[in-house]
Structure 1
Amino acid sequence: MMDNYSITMRLTIIITGFLLSIISYGQTSLKEIGLKAGKYKVGFKHYTINDSTRTYRIHNEFNNQLIERPIPISIWYPAKKEENNSEQLTVLNYLEILKEEEEWKNLPNYFLLDWFPYLWNTPENKAHLSEKVNAFSNPTLLDGKFPVVVYAPSYQASSIENFALFEYLASNGFVVISSASRGTNTRWLEGGTTKDMETQSKDVEFLLKEIHSYENIDIEKVALMGFSFGGLSNAITVMKNRTIRAIVSLDGTERYNYPVLEKSPYFNLNKFSIPYVHFAQKEIPKEVLTTDKIPEDLNYKFQLYDSLEHSNIHRYRFHDLTHSYFSSFGVLFANRDKRQDKSDDKIMVSYNLLCQHTLQFLNATLKNEKKAIDFIENKPVTNGFSDSLISKESKKAIEKEFIYRDFNDLAFKQDYQDLIPLYTKTISDYPNLELQEGMLNTLGLRLSFNPEKKGQGYNVFLLALHLYPKSANLYDSLAEAYFYNEDYQNAILNYKKSLELNPENQNAIGRLKQLKE
């Protein structure tokens, strides 16, 4: 019997999709994929930032020298059209980024198709190198506020592995930011372990911080997207961060290796309550299951999807796509497995549909577009797609208990203004909501002692007294807030109200004596 590590290694190799033994060469092109760009010009830039909180070793230098962890960043964005000093990129320009990410900076370009295991030096693949892409190098980001998609690549993959999808999203008004998938200590991962997942999750969190450096990114509208192992890392990232609005999984490994997710100390399904879509590959034929020793339940087991209760979630199956073809690299460069892969034409059509469905899901969840919401809620056949191409299942969220922290989030969003009407509306929707006196008292004081937030603090006390009108302590605390901010007239008024309710309140007695003197 295999141990857990061996099983993890086998699953990782299986779902990476590039190590199949029975192969043929495919012929595709960006033009034939046929993605219709949106209204925006697409800008692209690539740069590297070091994470000073973590150390790293360049494996190919074969020494013990530790450096700060390098985070290579690729970003696609809506760009200004009037700039003429930026050049339209080619596929080769993208592949040159591999030299940095794979730590072969000075590798000659003519070795690119020979050196990396997911590229093959064939005439068909050589033809891709000169193809023009839709992105331009380094134009200025367009004015405005754009939602952002933070992408986690597949196992040990490049930040650019899904560049055609990224360009498509950017042309439709999204910013996409991505970084390479790297191991904890070197370029190499351990084999798809929980440690590997946590490391990639930290890299995603680094990107979540990086987006704050861009004025044109709407940081209130953030989605995560990941392919294969990146889907697993994103699932745990969502459980750690409440700023994420939606998550897209491109045949993510949370489906294939759920135990890796469960082993994380951050694993908590109750903290996964955002819209989630999982795009799954076609059923793996029995011949492949048997020959490659793949567990049969991978064809129908969707444990995260089945376990989530507090998210509106969707699960699509693309009947003409095997795992490799959920990325641009896979469609263009991966060798075909004669046992199960469809024709190149069918692969390109389905990849196009995958990109369309991704865009519609993001338009629905980040832009709240009515047409996109209808598109996602519809069955594929209603949207004009045959059941032989796509099938779908959905689950509605079970409503979570609404507690005081949730109410405080709503209050924060409206800067603690109009709290009594907000409470009245909220309690009608969530009749079990309880705002405890002590919590409101502490929050009111905390805000009031901040000179820039004193007005908000007074508003919290007014809500608290609306709920607890006979609380001597609340009147006393409100008086303290006024006293601290040198509004002595209101301080005296509220100390007296506190004493009316509790004549033994020594703090109020002392303060009134102090103010009188």
Structure 2
Amino acid sequence: MKQFLIAFLYCLAAAAQAADEFSFSTPPGRHGVGLRIVQQYDHTRQYKPRVDMRTGEPVSGERARPVQALVWYPAARGGTPLNFRNYMETVPTEDDFTTSAAEIKRVTDARIDGFAGKRRAALLRELARPMLAVRDARPASGSFPVVIYAPGFSASAMENSDLCELLASHGYVVLAAASMGAHTRSMTDDLEGLEAQVADIAWLIGHARTLPGADTNQVAVVGFSWGGLANVLAAARDDRIKAIVSLDGSVRGTREWVDGGKDAAKYVTPARVAIPMLFVGRRPPTIEELNRAEVDTRFSFLNEMRWSDVYITTMLPMKHMDFSSYSVRVGREGSFGDYTRAGIALAHSWAARYALRFLDAYIKGDASALAFMNNTPAANGAPPHMILTDVRRNGGKTAPTRENFVARLGSEGFEHAIALHRQFAAQGAGFTLGANEIHGWGSALAARERYAQAREIFRLGTHLYPDEPFLHQGLAEMQAESGQTADALRSYRRVLELAPQHAAAAAFVQAHASIPP
């Protein structure tokens, strides 16, 4: 009986300890995981100003933007894995590569010292727990898609190390850098700060090209919170990005950067982000809560993404910070509302599973993963009352962008330019081609001696801008070059109607006066 009681008390203690620790339950893949820490400067961007903005004294040392990249990759199995403290020790060097080992230890210890009692003991156990990654492990052979992870506002690259390790174990090369402002370690809540993180994403994609086994023809971006907005801007700029995962991303709540208003990044339109997207978020506020907060709900970028496959996966137990495994690991007591740390950890693990399966579906072309994304949560074996899904399939529609417009002309013929333009413009997405843009396009084709194609582009220009003489002149020149002399004469006469002093038009009309109108 005494032995039974001791065993029972031990089990109770172990259960209590386990409930106070993070458990990432999504199983890893077949690969081991390696981690490299890369410290480089982006010399195309200035980071430090000439003087210290606190003291006014001259700044010493390197002024270019520091980029400390954590790189997870599929690796051979074996070796001593990192623990979670090792990840925390990457934080002090994110914007200062000269930080000493003693300073790294001091800063890390100071973060731990903020906890006390039972929570401190649990945190110390967390820090000692082994992770999947082995530092500088031998890379696995093969070619693997690239995932760029964008952390939340001012957060560190290691904030979702469990997810990054998981993806690497399933055959992805994953890169992450801290969320930093344009000129400060702290992110700034403005477009300049946001675009600094966007530029870091571009830098990481470029760096991935130097990595063995990294297939930069297949790139996805994953981001949490602010990073889940930065990766949308990155995708609007860079068509190398084939899919987006937004973990409760600010693309939902911080609409002013993407709504086309005066503060928005004008290049961010749903047509330019016409790629598959997974938004994994917390339960959204009710309409009553939004009304009390006087939130304007008339615009949603997610609703406007009608040229994309969009999956909205709602994790009912989770709050915003629960999408960061660092936050779940170190969160203080009472920070999980009506749920336990174990319950949140389970939901967090399922959120990671959805991210993995989405990437498998759209980056690797895995049919079973696509079926998973289109299944109900119950069919996927998710616990009851945890997940809601909203699946919005594109149906094969083509986004009205200039790139798609040119591609259609290339395949169907430039003589269809006016009709195709009418189709694209009818989609109501603000598809426009300016007069100067059309003239430059036609002139570029003419320089390549593609006179027939240039003629049709200038014809489109005169259709859209019938009172612009320089477009009629371009059309006339290309009609003449392609042997349509009578048509060229009519076009030059139109030039003279709009610009009576036009010397070239007058000369052509005089030289061909014998041709009847």
Return the TM-score normalized by structure 1. Answer: 0.69
Is 1:281 matched with 2:282? yes
Matched residues in 2 for 1:285 and 1:110: separation? 44
Correspondences of 1:185-204 after superposition (within 5 Å): 185-190=183-188, 192-204=189-201
Instruction: Determine the structure 2 residue equivalent to 1:47.
Output: 38
Matching residue within 48, 61, 77 for 1:57: 48
CA distance in structure 2 between the aligned counterparts of 1:136 and 1:128, rounded to whole angstroms: 17
The residue aligned with 2:161 is 163
2:216 maps to 1:219:
yes
Question: SS in structure 1 opposite 2:90?
Answer: helix
Q: Supply the distance in 2 between the matched residues of 1:313 and 1:176 (Cα, whole angstroms).
A: 23
CA distance in 2, matches of 1:404, 1:256: 29
- Taking the TM superposition and a 5 Å limit, the aligned residue runs for 1:12-51 are 28-29=20-21, 32-51=23-42
The alpha-carbon deviation at position 400 of structure 1 amounts to 3.4
Q: Does 1:380 align with 2:374?
A: no
- Measured after TM superposition, the shift of residue 409 of structure 1 is 5.4
User: Which of the residues 256, 260, 271 maps onto 1:259?
Assistant: 256
Q: Is 1:148–1:175's contact at 8 Å kept on the other side of the alignment? A: yes
Residue of structure 1 equivalent to 2:90: 97
1:147 is matched with which residue: 140, 145, 148?
145
Supply the AA of the counterpart residue of 2:170: N
- Displacement, 1:136? 0.7
The alpha-carbon deviation at position 421 of structure 1 amounts to 10
Deviations 1:250-273 (A, max 9, x none): 011122211134423344312111
Q: Secondary structure at the match of 2:312?
A: strand
Q: Is the 8 A contact 2:21 2:122 kept in 1?
A: no
* Partner secondary structure for residue 230 of structure 2: helix
AA aligned to 2:249 is G
User: What SS class does the counterpart of residue 255 from structure 1 fall into?
Assistant: helix
Task: Give the Cα separation in 1 of the matches to 2:375 and 2:403.
Answer: 34
Aligned ranges 1:4-403 → 2 under 5 Å? 28-29=20-21, 32-57=23-48, 63-65=57-59, 67-81=63-77, 86-101=79-94, 103=96, 105=100, 106-107=102-103, 109=105, 111-115=107-111, 122-190=120-188, 192-262=189-259, 263-269=263-269, 270-282=271-283, 295=293, 303-337=300-334, 340-386=337-383, 388-397=385-394, 399-400=397-398
**Distance in 2 (alpha carbons) for counterparts of 1:383 and 1:403:** 36
Give the direction of change, closer, same or farther, for the CA distance of 1:232–1:301 in structure 2 (3 Å limit): farther
The one-letter amino acid of 1:256's match is: G
- Secondary structure of 1:381's counterpart equals coil
| C-alpha distance 159-395 of structure 1, shift in aligned 2 (>3 A) | same
Q: What secondary structure does 2:251 align onto?
A: coil
Tell me the SS of whatever aligns to 1:44: strand
Q: Which moved more, 1:134-143 or 1:275-284?
A: 275-284
Contact 1:245/1:274 (8 A) holds in 2: yes
Q: Within 1, Cα distance between the matches of 2:227 and 2:348?
A: 18
Q: Displacement of 1:361 after TM fit?
A: 0.4
**Count of aligned pairs:** 424
> Displacement, 1:168?
0.6
| TM-score, with structure 2 as normaliser | 0.69
Letter in 2 for 1:168: L
**Ranges of 4+ aligned residues in structure 1 off by more than 6 Å:** 58-61, 116-121, 419-423, 429-433, 438-441, 473-477
- Give deviations 1:361-394, integer Å, cap 9, x for gaps: 0001101110111111222223232551000112
Q: Tell me: higher relative CO, structure 1 or 2? Use CA pairs within 8 A at least 6 residues apart.
A: 1
Give the secondary-structure state (helix, strand or coil) at the position aligned to 1:43.
strand
Secondary structure of the residue aligned to 2:42 is: strand
Cα distance, 1:307 vs. partner? 2.6
Distance 1:420 1:102, change over 3 A: closer
Q: CA deviation at 1:356?
A: 0.6
Check 1:68–1:78 CA distance in 2 against 1; reply closer, same or farther (3 A cut).
same
- CA offsets per residue over residues 90-129 of structure 1, 9 Å max, x none? 1121111012126554425365153389988811111111
Give the letter for the 1:268 counterpart.
Answer: V
1:265–1:339: structure 2 CA closer, same or farther, 3 Å change rule?
A: closer
Aligned-residue offset at 1:28: 4.4
Matched-pair contact (CA < 8 Å) for 1:27–1:332: no
Q: CA deviation at 1:235?
A: 1.6
Unaligned runs of 5+ in 2: 1-16, 415-419, 425-437, 455-476, 489-517
Structure 2 SS opposite 1:38: coil
Distance between the aligned counterparts of 2:221 and 2:307, measured in 1?
Answer: 18
Letter in 1 for 2:36: K
Residues 439 and 154 from structure 1, CA distance in 2 versus in 1: closer, same or farther, beyond 3 angstroms?
closer
**Structure 1 residues 294 and 247, CA gap change in structure 2 (3 angstroms):** farther
Deviations 1:201-224 (A, max 9, x none): 111111121112124211121111
Task: Look up the equivalent residue of 1:91 and give its one-letter code.
Answer: F
- Which amino acid in structure 2 is aligned with residue 72 of structure 1? Q
The verdict on how the C-alpha distance between 1:294 and 1:132 changes in structure 2, with shifts beyond 3 A counting, is farther
Q: Structure 1 pair 277/394, CA: closer, same or farther in 2 (3 Å)?
A: same
Hey, what's the Cα distance between the residues in 2 that align with 1:325 and 1:44? 24
How do 1:456-495 and structure 2 match up within 5 A?
Answer: none
Give the equivalent residue in structure 2 for 1:509: none
Deviations 1:293-338 (A, max 9, x none): 994859x998221232221111111011111111110111122445
Compared CA separation, residues 80 and 409, structure 1 to 2 (3 A): farther
Query: Structure 1 residues 41 and 61, CA, compared in 2 at 3 Å: closer, same or farther?
Result: farther
Identity level (%): 24
How far apart are 1:232 and its partner, in Å? 1.5
**CA-CA distance at 1:130 after TM superposition:** 1.1
TM-fit CA distance, 1:475: 13
Distance in 1, matches of 2:75 and 2:336, equals: 43
Pair 1:245–1:310, CA change in 2 (3 A): same
- Cα distance in 1 for residues equivalent to 2:227 and 2:138: 29
Which consecutive residues of structure 1, in runs of 5 or more, have no partner in the other structure? 1-24, 412-418, 424-428, 449-456, 462-472, 478-497, 506-517
Give the residue type in structure 1 aligned to 2:310: I
SS in 1 for 2:142: coil
Matches of 1:52 and 1:150 in 2, distance apart? 21
